[in-house]
Amino acid sequence: MTLDILSAFFGWLTVLHLGLFTLSALLLLALQDWVAGLHARMFGLAPADVSLTIYRWLGTYKIVIFATALGPWVALQLI
């Protein structure tokens, strides 16, 4: 496997992850009350707890994107 192939793979992986992250964030922003109410009923939580959990999930997902997709792509670009 060449560096060009790996670079293309991690580049497209980053684009895919950032697209999914952006779509998730926009949908959760637009449908926040509905999502919080649905998950609150499903799991017996307060809607405020659900919103906090979603916020933490988005933050964790962003860190995962940087560590597993964007970081390797940047490293390959520097080689």
**pTM for the structure as a whole:** 0.85
Residue pLDDT, tens place only, 40-76: 999 999 999 998 999 999 999 999 999 999 999 999 9
What letters, b where the CB count within 10 A reaches 16 and e where it falls short, cover 49-66?
A: ebbeebeeeeeeeeeebe
pLDDT of 1 over the 90 cut: no
Q: Which two tokens stand for residue 35?
A: 């999502």
Domain residue extents for the chain: 3-78
- For residue 17, the 8-state DSSP code is H
- Give the pLDDT confidence of 7-48 residue by residue, as tens digits: 999 999 999 999 999 999 999 999 999 999 999 999 999 999
